[in-house]
């Protein structure tokens, strides 16, 4: 069931490094329409809730500390085939393995501080969008 939206965050490393504008430009150039956006900060509790599926993984504590370490940009993006096309645009989780020209290849520091989030399924895109935005804040 495709819904043509995906959810993204520009993570604290990329915000701190001044890459918000460059990343949004790449997103627009790739044909995504921004239908919701906010500049915000996750508490450790909220970061843990967002990444709950990774709770048992060794990197979970580090991930929560990192994701709550500074402001982020959260956004909902609309495009045909949004989830898959956005994963292609951002590249592999580990920037060392990300294809040249992808957002993570260009802006990520390492596998943890990797510049951006992208939903991995249509179902999770809806869950993640509604984690951050009310219906009134989404302009579809």
> What is the set of active-site residues?
117
Return the residues of window 109-138 that contact Mg ion according to CB under 5 A.
120
- Cα separation, 117 vs 89, in Å, equals 11
Residue 59 interacting with ligand UDP (CB under 6 A): yes
Smallest separation, CB 120 to Mg ion (Å): 5
Return the residues of window 20-49 that contact ligand UDP according to CB under 6 A.
none
Sign of the alpha-carbon torsion through 65, 111, 16, 134:
negative
DSSP one-letter code for 76: E
Per-residue mark of binding to ligand UDP, 97-126 (x: CB under 6 A) = --------------xx-x--x--x------
* Contacts for 21 with CB less than 8 Å, ≥ 6 apart: none
């Amino acid at each position: 069931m495709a819904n043509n939206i995906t959810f993204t965050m520009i993570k604290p490393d990329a915000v701190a490094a001044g890459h918000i504008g460059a990343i949004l430009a790449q997103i627009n150039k790739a044909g995504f329409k921004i239908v919701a956006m906010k500049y915000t900060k996750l508490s450790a509790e909220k970061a843990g809730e967002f990444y709950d599926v990774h709770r048992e993984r060794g990197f979970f504590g580090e991930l929560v500390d990192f994701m709550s370490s500074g402001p982020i940009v959260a956004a909902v993006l609309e495009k045909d085939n949004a989830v898959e096309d956005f994963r292609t645009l951002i590249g592999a989780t580990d920037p060392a393995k990300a294809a040249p020209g992808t957002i993570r290849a260009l802006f990520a520091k390492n596998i943890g501080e990797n510049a951006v989030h992208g939903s991995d399924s249509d179902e999770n895109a809806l869950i993640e969008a509604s984690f951050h935005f009310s219906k009134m804040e989404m302009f579809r």
